Amino acid sequence: MANVFISHTGADIGWAEQIHQWLLEDAHKVFLDSDQGDGVRAGEEWRPRLYERLRWADAVICVVTPAYLESAWCAAEIGAAQALGSEILPVRAASEPLDDQLLTTKQYVDVVRDASGARARLRLRLSIIDGSGGRGWPDDASPYPGLRSFQLGEHRVFFGRGREIKEITERLRSPAERGERAVLTVVGPSGCGKSSLVRAGVLPRIAGGEEWLTVPPIAPGSDPMGNWCGPSPRWFANATSTLMWHRSGRIFSTVG
């Protein structure tokens, strides 16, 4: 399941604990600083612990209220999550207007207006982020694709590449990595699992982001660069960044 860090202020501990309970019931691994089992222990230096957990997390859920937006430390947690390339999921936990300059580009879920709907939307997104497979797979569907590669819709039964998935997605999301136009390549011998890693591992995490578009796999053919660049005007028309890959699963590219 997904590793989730809950970012909150002390004033909003009630909602933080409620979300913590939801995620535990869905079998995610969750860090909440006040949790007696896995939080910050008495006498422990809390800053190194929080930074270590931010590095560990696949996703950071921000419990957003006026108090949260005024907290310098919460702003630092958001900055660290962005720099690390973690998925950021803002949860609105206040009925009053929010003067939000930190997360303006992120879609909120609202636990005050619709708690069950917010939980369902978090569950859906985290089910994609975790990439660990298994849960929710139909009993009558085979989890083995044979000699072909795993595809996007088979991410629930794609196992064993968690470290590589996390490393690639963090690099693709990191502002530092995306500051310059570049190509991120996945290289390996034929048959080692590059395409499966890209399509069933990385794409489920990246494809849902508003700043990304994905293009279908292509065959290099006799004109690899021509085939690679040919479809791009149609796909890039409304994109700020684009993820692209060859049929072999070897090429990613961000376009500003």
pLDDT in tens, 96-122: 888 776 666 677 889 999 999 999 999
Question: Residue 207: which pLDDT band, with cuts at 50, 70 and 90?
Answer: low
Do residues 67 and 13 touch, judged by C-beta distance below 8 A? no
Domain contains 212? yes
Question: Residue 7: which pLDDT band, with cuts at 50, 70 and 90?
Answer: very high
Domain contains 143? no
Domain region containing 187 = 152-253
Do residues 113 and 15 both lie within one domain? yes
Chain centroid to CA 68? 22
- The pTM score is 0.62
Domain contains 142? no
36: three-class secondary structure by DSSP: coil
Do residues 108 and 68 both lie within one domain? yes
Tokens 């690679």 map to which residue? 228
Domains held by the chain: number: 2
Kindly report the average pLDDT of the chain as a whole number. Answer: 77
User: What is the predicted pLDDT for the residue at 236?
Assistant: 47
pLDDT in tens, 145-200: 888 888 777 776 777 887 888 888 877 777 666 666 667 788 888 888 888 888 88
Give which of 40, 51, 30, 39 is closest to 130, Cα–Cα: 30
Dig out the tokens for 168 from the structure. Answer: 């690639």
Domain contains 103? yes
Higher pLDDT, 127 or 252: 127
170: three-class secondary structure by DSSP: helix
Do residues 235 and 156 both lie within one domain? yes
Distance in angstroms (rounded) separating the CA atoms of residues 31 and 39: 6
Distance in angstroms (rounded) separating the CA atoms of residues 59 and 6: 9
User: What is the predicted pLDDT for the residue at 251?
Assistant: 45
Chain centroid to CA 99? 25
75 Cβ contact list (under 8 Å, min separation 6): 102
Q: What percent of the chain is modeled with pLDDT above 70?
A: 69
Give which of 127, 138, 159, 132 is closest to 23, Cα–Cα: 127
Do residues 108 and 180 both lie within one domain? no
Side chain identity at 95, as an amino acid letter?
S
Do residues 121 and 11 both lie within one domain? yes
Domain contains 138? no
The arrangement of strands across the sheet holding 109-110 comes to: 29-31, 3-7, 59-64, 87-92, 109-110
Residue count of the chain, please give it.
256
Q: With b meaning 16 or more CB within 10 Å and e meaning fewer, what string describes 36-61?
A: eeeebeeeeeeeeebeebbeebbbbb
Distance in angstroms (rounded) separating the CA atoms of residues 40 and 45: 8
Do residues 71 and 117 both lie within one domain? yes
Domain contains 83? yes
User: What is the predicted pLDDT for the residue at 113?
Assistant: 92
CATH number at residue 119: 3.40.50.10140
